[in-house]
Amino acid sequence: MRKILILLVVFTGMLSWQCSRTTSDPSLKSSVDVSVAKINTALTAISETRGYQLMTSSDLTKSGDGFNDSIDLDLVAGIYDFKPDTFICQHFMMPFWRFEKTAESGMMVLNLPQSLVFHPRLLHEANPPDSIMENDFTITASDYHYYYSFMHGYDYKLTAGFTLDGNDIGMLDVTAEGQNFAGRSYSSSYSFTDDYSVMVSYEKGDTSISSFVLKEGNDVLLGEKRFFVWKDFHQSERKYTLTIGNVDIVKGSETDSIEVYLDGVLQKTAGAVITDSEDQGDGEHSVCHNRDILLTFDDGTTAKLSDLIGPSLETLKTLVDPMREMYFARRIVDHLALTIYYQNR
């Protein structure tokens, strides 16, 4: 009798474990739903930050792309305060405001009014409003160099943190290199204050790779990677991968079929269709530009990525493009670094 009771307990435990295991295994649809909720939460939170405003400012007018000298961090290191009533228009045909060096530092620390970074056109105006004169914004560059010349190509590095009224609003890290700015490889990432980050990158080579990724901590919420090669004088997409949490959608150039993976396991009854809104032929199709994806789940229901993410996708689009063009780094940090460089000479 005792032996029978033991067997019943073991059998009941195994049955309970199997039921628990079955119910805890997520379906593709539930996994996508959970991941999409996290994506929407992240991009909504990002859109409300000052860091997002910093990276997406459309009020950008000039940059120092024509500069063909070398600047290392040690040439611009120090703590500098913006000085009003010092507008100067000389050197490299770019007007600038003077900064007063107030202390030594191994980093480039710039204290200036927030209006000059959120409305960069004021960097080039001789008579900005008096209300912008409080130095309430700080750029702290712990790593910086800018090399560009016709013969030696382009090499760039920036690691900088930003504070507003003493409060941290994020950090930007940029690396780029190439024979010229247009033909560069690059990586640009911004870390927001809620543990969210966005990184865009482009690797130029025989097979070029363009990607972006939205992360929470170390977890990928949404990511896209495009592999393409030059074919018949245009870029031809060789492989495409979209990651939505623990779901990967993969399309190769050798087949019309699109594979869907959940936690690395191929889903045999699920599928996806990639729809490009126009035939570009230049490798620029992305969920940020002219591409949508229709998912078919195990139960036969379907959903478009654009409907699932909705307005949050627009937030991502407005963030990815300026980061790819390095707008803030080129048109604000570089302008200010050149100001300090020429001022120190």
pLDDT at 17: 38
What's the mean per-residue pLDDT of the chain? 82
Rounded to whole angstroms, the Cα distance separating 135 from 166 reads 11
Which pLDDT tens digit goes with each residue over 109-126?
Answer: 999 999 888 888 777 766
Parallel/antiparallel/unpaired status of strands 219-231 and 247-252 = unpaired
Q: Is the pLDDT of residue 299 over 50?
A: yes
**Host H or E run for residue 173:** strand 167-178
pLDDT at 234: 65
Q: Is the pLDDT of residue 238 over 90?
A: no
Which pLDDT tens digit goes with each residue over 129-147?
Answer: 555 678 999 999 999 998 8
Structure tokens at 13: 């435990």
Q: Is the pLDDT of residue 279 over 70?
A: no
pLDDT at 21: 33
Rounded to whole angstroms, the Cα distance separating 134 from 132 reads 6
Amino acid (one-letter) located at 152: H
Rounded to whole angstroms, the Cα distance separating 313 from 302 reads 19
Q: Across residues 144-171, what is the average pLDDT?
A: 89
Most trustworthy range by pLDDT among 187-191, 266-270, 286-290: 187-191
Q: Is the pLDDT of residue 6 over 80?
A: no
Q: Across residues 267-287, what is the average pLDDT?
A: 77
**C-alpha dist (Å) from residue 79 to 40, 100, 145, 162, 178:** 39, 8, 17, 14, 31
Q: Identify the band that residue 60 occupies on the pLDDT scale cut at 50, 70 and 90.
A: low
Q: Across residues 146-171, what is the average pLDDT?
A: 88
CA diameter of the chain: 100
Domain definitions of the chain by residue range? 37-344
Which pLDDT tens digit goes with each residue over 162-199?
Answer: 999 999 999 999 999 987 666 779 999 999 998 999 99
Phi, psi of 316 (to 5 degrees): -65, -45
The more confident residue out of 283 and 287 is 287
Is 56 within 8 Å of 322 (Cβ atoms)? yes
Geometric angle at alpha carbon 216, from 210 and 218, rounded to 5°: 75
Is 196 within 8 Å of 219 (Cβ atoms)? no
